[in-house]
Amino acid sequence: MADVSLNVTGAKGKAAGDVKVPAELFGIGQDEVRSHVPLVHQVVIAQLAAARQGTHAVKNRARISGGGRKPWKQKGTGRARQGSIRAPQFAGGAVVHGPVPRDYSQRTPKKMKAAALRYVLSDRCNAGRVHVVDFGIADRPSTKTALSVLEPLVAQRFTTVVLGRENINEWMSVRNLPTVHVLFADQLNTYDVVTAEDVVFTKEGLESFTGGTKSGKEA
């Protein structure tokens, strides 16, 4: 499978060469991508489930104080029989069948997560929604410079920007843009690609991602 070529965009949206990216990450055919939608769905659901805290809880009969005495005698009052003012039908009573703390996480093998990420990246690349940029930001952060590079590519579409960890000034330049979600290359995941209309890599971020993926496969 031949490598995929992506154009590099520099300052003010001008072309700045191109880069080759592995076809096994960015060049999977659309038919194969469609056939693996259930896999992508399973990985995304597992990721969202793992993000849940699961600390929800209610006070049941055992956890609520009071109500030890029978509120009125069993017979002769004309009222319905009751055993405690903390029964669930009373105001201030306990909650029955309510949520309890639990762990929502699902077991997802590493190979499944890696495969799902390959399919969604290929899907975005097939649609022309994967871009490589060179912000040209080195000495100090500049949101204006970053915006001048991004705007011709993605306009106002929601975008995931993938950076290398070497240049913190790039991260500081894009972190406040309202339509940008910024990640480092080792944090890229299926959910953040699925929810983004475009995926933008810096040259350093792309090198870190493809290099890390190769070394992970070799291991």
What is the CATH number for 195?
A: 3.40.1370.10
Range scoring the smallest mean pLDDT among 126-130, 137-141, 158-162: 137-141
Average pLDDT over residues 156-175: 92
Question: For 3, which DSSP code?
Answer: P
Domain that holds residue 184: 4-52+104-218
Distance CA 61, CA 208 (A): 55
Residues 71 and 176 reside in one and the same domain = no
Q: Is the CB of residue 214 less than 8 Å from the CB of residue 193? A: no
Q: Are residues 127 and 190 in the same domain?
A: yes
109 and 89 in one domain?
no
Does the pTM surpass 0.85? The reply is no
Whether residues 119 and 46 fall in one domain: yes
Residues 8 and 41 in one domain: yes
Q: Are residues 210 and 142 in the same domain?
A: yes
Please write the tens of the pLDDT for every residue from 22-35: 999 999 999 999 99
Strands (E), 45-152: 130-133
Provide the edge-to-edge strand list for the sheet that holds 159-163: 15-21, 4-9, 130-133, 198-202, 159-163, 180-184
Together in a domain, 8 and 44:
yes
Q: What percent of the chain has pLDDT over 70?
A: 96
d(CA 162, CA 127) in angstroms, rounded, equals: 18
The domain tally of the chain equals 2
Do 112 and 156 have their domain in common? yes
**pLDDT (tens digit per residue) in 3-14:** 888 888 887 777
Mark whether 116 and 170 lie in a shared domain: yes
Helix orientation angle between 203-218 and 110-126, rounded to the nearest 10 degrees = 140
Q: Is there a single domain that holds both residue 179 and residue 197?
A: yes
> Which has the closest alpha carbon to 12: 125, 145, 132, 103?
145
Q: What is the DSSP string of 159-211?
A: EEEEE-SS-HHHHHHHTT-TTEEEEEGGG--HHHHHT-SEEEEEHHHHHHHHH
Q: Do 41 and 87 belong to one domain?
A: no
Residues 39 and 75 in one domain: no
